């Protein structure tokens, strides 16, 4: 286990050290202590390593992650796992705004609640939220899966493309062009896998969820739908 004291050695040195781990490395386990809400912790990591952050983080923790497994033993500020490409990010606490924004791959797990715009413009990432999510989540989401064991706020899936949204609790309102869809066997199988990967398989069953997706009426401009744009 490689231990890095952020208070003593600083954020620039931390990220420079982690960025140097490209390719194969025998330093595969890292522990970051004294994060104290610092921004951009472990951003841009591109190595098959496991990183544990002992405390809460600021903006953009684990942004642009590739390959790494990053666990935050606390809560995360805005933009956690933003533009993630692959790997896994697990937050033991809550996540602030736009968690997983523009994510292209990998898995983001939030053990607590997520704030507004969770999964905004997601492009292939899988997000599993054990609690609730805020308003405008999955806005313009293009592909990937958003799983919510709790409730969803206003305008879920506004201007959605082809991402799949699974919500176990209530949805305050659906955004433009987002509708409830049939839950077919292939969706139940997909959801079971996502719950297992998201460390939530003992908390909920796939049959308890509803699926939401695009009505596909806003793909091309239509004067009859002008009010919805």
Q: Residues 34, 4, 21, 199: is their CA dihedral positive or negative?
A: negative
Domain that holds residue 87: 2-217
Q: Looking at the 3D structure of the chain, how many domains does it have?
A: 1
For residue 200, what are its two tokens? 């939530």
Give DSSP secondary structure letters for 61-116: TTTT-BS-EEEESS-B-TTTTTT--SSEEEESS-B-TTTTTT--SSEEEESS-B-T
Q: What is the distance between the alpha carbons of residues 76 and 19, in angstroms, rounded to a whole number? A: 21
Task: Return the SS3 of 25.
Answer: coil
H or E stretch at 144: strand 143-148
**DSSP-assigned letter for residue 151:** -
Q: Residues 190, 105, 181, 204: is their CA dihedral positive or negative?
A: positive
Kindly report the pTM of this predicted structure.
0.95
What Cα–Cα distance (Å) separates residue 8 from each residue in 20, 34, 35, 44, 150?
Answer: 20, 9, 10, 21, 39
DSSP lists the bridge partners of residue 51 as 30, 70
Residue 1 has a pLDDT of 87
Question: Tell me, what CATH number does 15's domain have?
Answer: 2.160.20.60
Residue 23 has a pLDDT of 67
In a domain, 229, yes or no: no
In a domain, 27, yes or no: yes
In a domain, 107, yes or no: yes
In a domain, 206, yes or no: yes
What Cα–Cα distance (Å) separates residue 54 from each residue in 34, 79, 118, 151, 203?
Answer: 7, 19, 23, 28, 25
In a domain, 14, yes or no: yes
In a domain, 70, yes or no: yes
When computed from its CA atoms, the radius of gyration of the chain, rounded to whole angstroms, is 18
Contact call for residues 205 and 189 (beta carbons, < 8 A): no
* Mean pLDDT of each 10-residue bin along the chain, 229 residues long: 94 95 83 96 96 98 97 98 98 98 98 98 98 98 98 97 97 97 98 98 96 88 69
Residue 41 has a pLDDT of 98
In a domain, 225, yes or no: no
DSSP lists the bridge partners of residue 53 as 32, 72
Q: What is the distance between the alpha carbons of residues 53 and 91, in angstroms, rounded to a whole number? A: 10
In a domain, 141, yes or no: yes
């Amino acid at each position: 286990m490689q231990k890095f004291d952020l208070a003593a050695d600083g954020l620039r040195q931390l990220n420079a050290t982690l960025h140097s781990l490209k390719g194969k490395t025998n330093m595969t386990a890292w522990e970051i202590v004294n994060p104290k809400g610092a921004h951009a912790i472990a951003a841009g990591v591109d190595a098959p390593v496991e990183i544990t952050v002992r405390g809460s983080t600021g903006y953009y923790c684990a942004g642009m992650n590739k390959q790494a497994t990053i666990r935050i033993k606390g809560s995360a500020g805005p933009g956690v796992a933003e533009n993630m490409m692959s790997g896994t990010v697990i937050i033991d606490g809550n996540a602030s705004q736009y968690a997983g924004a523009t994510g292209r791959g990998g898995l983001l797990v939030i053990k607590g609640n997520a704030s507004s715009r969770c999964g905004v413009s997601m492009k292939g990432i899988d997000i599993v939220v054990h609690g609730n999510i805020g308003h405008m989540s999955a806005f313009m989401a293009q592909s990937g899966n958003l799983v919510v064991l709790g409730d969803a706020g206003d305008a879920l899936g506004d201007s959605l493309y082809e991402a799949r949204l699974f919500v176990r609790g209530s949805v305050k309102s659906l955004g433009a062009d987002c509708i409830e869809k049939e839950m077919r066997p292939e969706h139940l199988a997909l959801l079971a896998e996502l719950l297992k990967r998201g460390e939530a398989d003992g908390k909920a069953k796939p049959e308890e969820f509803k699926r939401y997706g695009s009505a596909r009426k806003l793909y091309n401009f239509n004067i009859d739908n002008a009010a919805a744009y």
